[in-house]
């Protein structure tokens, strides 16, 4: 492939403070010469955080609403819940797998274009669900169109935030990723009200239109990296030389391409660790309510378990990243993996509402924290240059198996009449991920 010219924009100290200069390097994608930096007022990185928080809130709010709409679809169409569950598994698999594509496009074209196109596809797919009159149409609308649009949410948003922050990366990603759980709070009651007024078909048309407009508006605010606006990560200025010296600048030797990263053992070990923990992550979302009802808990209190997971997940996403800024990304990830293994272990012996809610809260908190730590860890290990491509590649490999977790648990329940073996397997996989974490080291390469 022919090399192309690009610019990495570096801060240079002078008597006038910090200014941005460019250094020509091969094979990078930062060609825009920025205007003079303005360090007064709010750092634009926090605008990026607010916009990406909103994108994830809406996109994942729509995604998690499928469980709310599913009973109404089954009632009016006569399709069984198992028939309606499989298209959702296809949806999860495809949108995770396409993270590889959306990450690469984010690095090449920028997040604004990628998220805007994703908004059109996600909103259009959701509206098509409302018009579906056969299972084939549902597979196309949900499993293909909406899934393709959804792939332009998690990876582009988190990869962009990684580019904008170094010293405060954990905090920024915590706020951004907490949008996922925030959407889980807001959308279920909203969708319930829409179904009561317009029916499930009308509700999906309204959701699709709303999602398209708001997601596209948020996308207009997202800029790929601070250098394009004449800024540096975290908004550091030349007025604080000591602070600026602690902020990594985008020198090519400190940043990895996807091809370079794939040659390291750390890359593949990260992939295995997150695959082990994510393959079972949707199991409680799908099966914990029927599990609670099997314990004799009322339907309302059983359904509240999902709300407990969502609330704890919001707290986990919001707090864990900031904690990792202080105590380190790998150590904090180890804590989350241990908590998630403990939560699944607790579910194995749960016999009442109190322990059920405690395990659900522990699972939600640790799952939310793991999701927030994933892009931060990638940024720490491989830099900002190709972070979208690297995050997307690993997310595709590690995230797509999550589609099979609920199916495996359903098969185990059918074979044994209990979820015990599924919870035991989930705890063991997280414990194995924790063990492997002890072997994870930041990759180094020769500067020869």
Most confident listed range (120-129, 382-391, 398-407, 437-446): 120-129
Q: Are residues 319 and 406 in the same domain?
A: yes
Give Cα separations from 292 to 84, 253, 342 (angstroms).
22, 53, 18
Instruction: Write a three-state SS string for the chain.
Output: CCCCEEEEEEEEEECCEEEEEEEEEECCCCCCCCCCCCCCCCCHHHHHHHHHHHHHHHHHHHHHCHHHHHHHHHHHHCCCHHHHHHHHHHHHHHHHHCHHHHHHHHHHHCHHHHHHHHHHHHHHHHHHHHCCCCHHHHHHHHHHHHHHHHCCCHHHHHHHHHHHCCCCHHHHHHHHHHHHHHHHHHHHHHHHHHHHHHHHHHHHHHHHHHHHHHHHHHHCCCCCCHHHHCCCHHHCCCCCHHHHHCCCCCCHHHCCCHHHHCCCHHHHHHHHHHHHHHCCCCHHHHHHHHHHHHCCCCHHHHHHHHHHHHHHHHHHHHHHHHHHHHHCHHHHHHHHHHHHHHHHHHHHHCCCHHHHHHHHHHHHHHHHHHHHHHHHHHHHHHCCCCHHHHHHHHHHHHHHHHHHHHHHHHHHHHHHCCCHHHHHHHHHHHHHHHHHHCCCCCCCCCCC
Cβ atoms within 10 Å of 379's Cβ, excluding its own: 26
Query: Which tokens belong to 190?
Result: 């909203």
Show the CA angle centred on residue 305, arms to residues 303 and 309, nearest 5°: 130
Mean pLDDT (the chain) is: 83
Domain count, the chain: 2
Q: How many whole angstroms separate alpha carbon 299 and alpha carbon 313?
A: 22
Asked if residue 2 is part of any domain, the answer here is no
Asked if residue 246 is part of any domain, the answer here is no
Q: Are residues 177 and 325 in the same domain?
A: no
Provide mean pLDDT across the span 138-152. 94
Tell me what pLDDT residue 87 has: 87
Asked if residue 28 is part of any domain, the answer here is no
Spatial contact of 32 and 23, defined as CB atoms under 8 Å apart: no
pLDDT tens across 282-296, in order? Answer: 888 778 878 888 889
Q: Are residues 146 and 54 in the same domain?
A: yes
The distance of Cα 214 from the centroid of its chain, to the nearest Å, equals 19
State what percent of residues in the chain have pLDDT above 70.
86
Tell me what pLDDT residue 439 has: 95
Nearest to 125 by CA among 148, 147, 141, 144: 141
Tell me what pLDDT residue 239 has: 43
Q: Are residues 205 and 311 in the same domain?
A: no
Domain range for 145 is 43-225
Question: Between 353-382 and 154-164, two packed helices, what is the crossing angle to 10 degrees?
Answer: 60
Which of 17-26, 107-116, 339-348, 423-432 is predicted least confidently? Answer: 17-26
Q: Rg of the chain's alpha carbons, rounded to an integer?
A: 22
At 206, which CATH number?
Answer: 1.20.1250.20
The yes-or-no verdict on residue 76 having pLDDT over 60 is yes
Q: Are residues 275 and 137 in the same domain?
A: no
Asked if residue 30 is part of any domain, the answer here is no
Most confident listed range (294-298, 334-338, 376-380, 419-423): 334-338
State what percent of residues in the chain have pLDDT above 90.
44
Residue 243: pLDDT band with limits 50, 70, 90: very low
Q: Are residues 219 and 292 in the same domain?
A: no
The yes-or-no verdict on residue 411 having pLDDT over 80 is yes
What is the widest separation between alpha-carbon atoms in the chain?
A: 74
Q: Are residues 82 and 142 in the same domain?
A: yes
Q: Are residues 399 and 274 in the same domain?
A: yes
Residues 6+ apart with CB under 8 A from 45: 161, 164, 165, 172, 226, 231, 233, 234, 235
Tell me what pLDDT residue 189 has: 81
> What does pTM read for this prediction?
0.76
Tell me what pLDDT residue 351 has: 87
The yes-or-no verdict on residue 367 having pLDDT over 50 is yes
Q: How many whole angstroms separate alpha carbon 42 and alpha carbon 356?
A: 43
Q: Are residues 220 and 285 in the same domain?
A: no
The yes-or-no verdict on residue 275 having pLDDT over 90 is yes
Asked if residue 434 is part of any domain, the answer here is yes
Query: Which tokens belong to 108?
Result: 């090449």
Tell me what pLDDT residue 54 has: 96
Tell me what pLDDT residue 246 has: 42
Asked if residue 237 is part of any domain, the answer here is no
Provide mean pLDDT across the span 407-420. 85
- Positive/negative CA dihedral, 280, 284, 286, 287: positive
Residue 31: pLDDT band with limits 50, 70, 90: very low
Q: How many whole angstroms separate alpha carbon 375 and alpha carbon 286?
A: 25
pLDDT tens across 186-239, in order? Answer: 887 888 889 889 999 999 999 999 999 999 999 999 999 898 888 888 876 544
Provide mean pLDDT across the span 54-69. 88
Which of 30-34, 216-220, 298-302, 369-373 is predicted least confidently? Answer: 30-34
The yes-or-no verdict on residue 17 having pLDDT over 50 is no
Q: Are residues 284 and 210 in the same domain?
A: no
Q: Are residues 90 and 202 in the same domain?
A: yes
């Amino acid at each position: 492939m022919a090399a192309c010219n690009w610019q990495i924009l570096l801060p240079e100290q002078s008597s006038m403070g910090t200014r941005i200069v460019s250094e020509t390097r091969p094979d990078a994608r930062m060609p825009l010469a920025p205007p003079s930096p303005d360090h007064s007022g709010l750092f634009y990185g926090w605008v990026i955080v607010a916009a990406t928080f909103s994108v994830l809130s809406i996109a994942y709010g729509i995604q998690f609403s499928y469980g709310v709409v599913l009973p109404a679809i089954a009632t009016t169409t006569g399709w069984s819940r198992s028939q309606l569950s499989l298209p959702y598994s296809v949806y999860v698999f495809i949108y995770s797998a396409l993270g590889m594509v959306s990450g690469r496009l984010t690095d090449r074209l920028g997040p604004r274009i990628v998220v805007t196109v994703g908004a059109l596809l996600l909103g259009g797919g959701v509206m098509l669900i409302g018009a579906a009159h056969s299972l084939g149409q549902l597979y196309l609308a949900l499993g293909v169109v909406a899934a393709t649009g959804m792939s332009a949410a998690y990876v582009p948003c988190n990869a962009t935030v990684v580019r904008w922050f170094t010293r405060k990366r954990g905090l920024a990603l915590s706020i951004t990723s907490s949008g996922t759980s925030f959407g889980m709070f807001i959308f279920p009651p909203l969708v319930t009200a829409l179904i009561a007024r317009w029916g499930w078909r009308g509700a999906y048309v309204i959701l699709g239109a709303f999602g398209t407009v708001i997601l596209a508006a948020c996308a207009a605010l997202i800029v790929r990296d601070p250098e394009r606006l004449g800024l540096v990560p975290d908004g550091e200025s030349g007025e604080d030389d000591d602070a600026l010296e602690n902020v990594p600048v985008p020198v090519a030797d400190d940043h990895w391409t996807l091809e370079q990263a794939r040659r390291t053992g750390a890359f593949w070990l990260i992939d295995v660790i997150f695959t082990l923990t994510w393959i079972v992550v949707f199991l409680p979302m799908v099966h914990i309510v029927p599990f609670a009802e099997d314990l004799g808990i009322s339907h309302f209190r059983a359904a509240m378990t999902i709300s407990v997971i969502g609330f704890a997940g919001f707290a986990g996403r919001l707090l864990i990243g900031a904690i990792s800024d202080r105590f380190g990304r790998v150590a904090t990830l180890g804590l989350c993996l241990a908590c998630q293994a403990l939560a699944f272990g607790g579910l194995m012996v749960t016999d009442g509402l109190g322990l059920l809610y405690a395990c659900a809260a522990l699972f939600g908190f640790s799952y939310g924290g793991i999701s927030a730590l994933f892009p931060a860890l990638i940024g720490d290990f491989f830099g900002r240059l190709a972070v979208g491509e690297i995050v997307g590649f690993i997310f595709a490999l590690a995230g797509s198996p999550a589609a099979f977790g609920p199916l495996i648990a359903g098969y185990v329940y059918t074979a044994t009449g209990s979820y015990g073996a599924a919870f035991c397997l989930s705890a063991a996989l997280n414990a194995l991920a924790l063990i492997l974490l002890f072997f994870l080291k930041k990759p180094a390469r020769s500067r020869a």
